[in-house]
Amino acid sequence: MQQINLYQAQFKPKKVVLPPRQMLLILLLVLIILSVMGLYSAKRNSTFKQIISQQQQHTIQQIDHITESPLLNAELEKLHQQQNEKTKLLDYLTHQDFGNQQGFSETLHSLSKQQISNVWLTEFLLLNGGQSITLQGKSLQSSQIPLYIDSLAESDHFHGEKFSVFQLQQPKDNKNIYTFKLNTDKNGSGRD
């Protein structure tokens, strides 16, 4: 019986390694292609800008050559006004921070998890895209309100937030119910 040793060098797969010179040539070729593509794109953008500029000048010249009429002037003024409004809207949309883009479900879910006996929320406001939160509630015991605030501060969503009590009062008509109002800023600058 004949035995074959498959671990001999002749049976091992040969690794193809490019010499450094060929690797450098490939890298240079890729850089040249990317540079040419960048120059082509810049030239194309420049050409488009020139075409748009020429079209705008041509349109302005055509408008100047049209005989003056009150209807055309009114229509032109209306179009300019619409263009200005759209430009302002576009500028507003591109330069504004719209706050919380993920929604408020995490905030509401975190609020719903807080269960301190004899404490309940009656109103909540999410302002500035959720950056500022105002909570109003009631409690049968004033000592439960700090426990509710601590529970909120320990939750995952409100962890590290500073809460401030704006109002804590006992209504005159019902001596057993205390009302409270809390506020926090999500950027960590809660008012004390």
The pLDDT > 90 percentage for the chain reads 22
The pLDDT > 70 percentage for the chain reads 82
pLDDT at 5 over 70: no
pLDDT averaged over the chain?
80
pLDDT confidence of residue 191: 39
Here the contacts of 94-99 (C-beta below 8 Å, separation 24 or greater) are: 97/129, 98/129, 99/128, 99/129, 99/130, 99/131
Here the contacts of 76-82 (C-beta below 8 Å, separation 24 or greater) are: none
Work out the pLDDT band at 41, boundaries 50, 70, 90: very high
pLDDT digits (tens, 9 = 90+) for 134-153: 888 888 888 888 888 888 88
pLDDT confidence of residue 172: 74
Q: Which residue has the higher pLDDT, 40 or 125?
A: 40
| Number of other residues whose CB lies within 10 A of the CB of residue 5 | 7
pLDDT confidence of residue 185: 67
Q: Give which of 93, 106, 167, 96 is closest to 135, Cα–Cα.
A: 167
DSSP class of residue 188 equals S
pLDDT digits (tens, 9 = 90+) for 77-88: 999 999 999 999
Provide the whole-model pTM. Answer: 0.42
Q: Which residue has the higher pLDDT, 138 or 156?
A: 138
Q: Which residue has the higher pLDDT, 60 or 192?
A: 60
Domain ranges of the chain: 20-95, 105-185
The domain defined by 105-185 carries CATH number 3.30.1360.100: yes
pLDDT at 35 over 90: yes
